[in-house]
Amino acid sequence: MTTEAAEHTVPVHDNVEQDSAIPIITFENVSRIYPGEFVALSDINLTINEGEFVTIVGMSGAGKSTLLRMIYADDMPTTGRVFFYERPIDAIKRRLLPFYRRNIGTVFQDFKLLPNRTVFENVAYALEVQGAPNAEIEEEVPQILEIVGLENKMEFFPAQLSGGEQQRVSLARALIHRPRVIVADEPTGNLDPVSTWEIMQLLLRINEYGTTVVLATHNDAIVDRIKKRVVVMDRGVIVRDIAQGTYSL
């Protein structure tokens, strides 16, 4: 598929339910100061609604990753709070955090696949750790792999796949437990333009099905093309928040 052809298949539509929107992730006066007085985030206020597709842009060190990490509870604010629906994430008991994380699917630049497991096993893994029965795993993993277009490569190992294919495995794994939010931190950072666009299309499709997507990226071309909400960050501060933005730092 060429990028040109792909462009036409992208569903470009506005968020029609803007008024009745339900906040799914809310940052309330969030600051994150790392030891050594390094300020990663400074007084962030941000609301992401159910079903939204939010792109976070900014240079390296702008605080994008820190912001995303707080969504999947890998980092906690120094001051301020992050809410999942009405629930403050910092109030979740440590013991219960794994259960909270099942609401969030994560995708990274470096794919984070287990090298010695097949595509099928990598995706199945996310269900296994939850104690899902084998029958359920056997049924759902191929379905998800079909969605990302890897149904014919289930027995391949990550090393036998291209970067784009690996990222699709990682996306399938993030989707397998039907998360409410997909957090994608530079998912296309290591990919060629064609693969990048394939991943973007998948993310858009997932979003179309109702999953909230929070994407951090450097890639100005895709930001301009998808015409979704853009949050621009600079040195730990949100400098712009545009409903249908383009990439302009």
Partner 1 sequence: MNRITTRFIKLGRTLREGFRNFHRDGWLSFATVSVMTLSLYIIAMTFLLVTAGGALLKNIQDNVSISAYFYPSVAESRILDIKKELEDIVEIKSVVYISREDALKEFKESTSDPLILSALDEFEKEGDNPLLASLVIKATAPEHYEDIAKLLSLPKYADDISEVNFSKNQGVIGQLSHIINVTRTLGMTLGAIFIAIAVLVVYNTVRITMFARRQEFEIMRLVGASNLYVRLPSLYEGFFYGVAAAFMTLILLALTTYFLAPIAEGVAFGNISLFTLFVHYLGHIAVTIFFIGTLLGMISSAIAIRRYLKA
Q: Which residues bind partner 1 (CB under 8 A)?
A: 72, 74, 94-95, 97-99, 101-102, 106, 112-114, 116, 125-126, 128-133, 173, 177
Q: From the CB of 126, what's the least distance to partner 1, in Å?
A: 4
* DSSP alpha helix (H) spans, the chain: 3-9, 64-71, 97-101, 119-128, 134-147, 163-175, 193-208, 220-226
Rank residues 139 and 208 by Cβ distance to partner 1 and give the closer one.
Answer: 139
Q: For the chain, what's the residue count?
A: 249
Distance (Å, rounded) from C-alpha 115 to C-alpha 118?
8
Q: From the CB of 172, what's the least distance to partner 1, in Å?
A: 12
Rank residues 41 and 107 by Cβ distance to partner 1 and give the closer one.
Answer: 107
Name the one residue in this structure whose structure tokens are 């990028």. 3
Rank residues 57 and 182 by Cβ distance to partner 1 and give the closer one.
Answer: 182
Amino acid type, 235: R
- The per-residue b/e assignment along 212-226, b for 16 or more CB within 10 angstroms, e otherwise, is bbbbbbbbeebbebb
Rank residues 131 and 210 by Cβ distance to partner 1 and give the closer one.
Answer: 131
Q: Token pair for residue 142? A: 């191929």
> Residue 112 has what DSSP assignment?
-
Residue 47 near residue 239 (C-beta atoms within 8 A): no
Rank residues 24 and 172 by Cβ distance to partner 1 and give the closer one.
Answer: 172
Q: From the CB of 230, what's the least distance to partner 1, in Å?
A: 26
> Residue 167 has what DSSP assignment?
H
Q: From the CB of 112, what's the least distance to partner 1, in Å?
A: 5
Q: From the CB of 76, what's the least distance to partner 1, in Å?
A: 10
Plot region of 73 (φ>0 → left; ψ -120 to 50 → alpha; else → beta): left
Rank residues 181 and 232 by Cβ distance to partner 1 and give the closer one.
Answer: 181
Q: From the CB of 56, what's the least distance to partner 1, in Å?
A: 19
Residue 184 near residue 67 (C-beta atoms within 8 A): no
What does each C-alpha distance from 30 to 40, 111, 164, 236, 240 come to in angstroms? 10, 28, 34, 10, 17
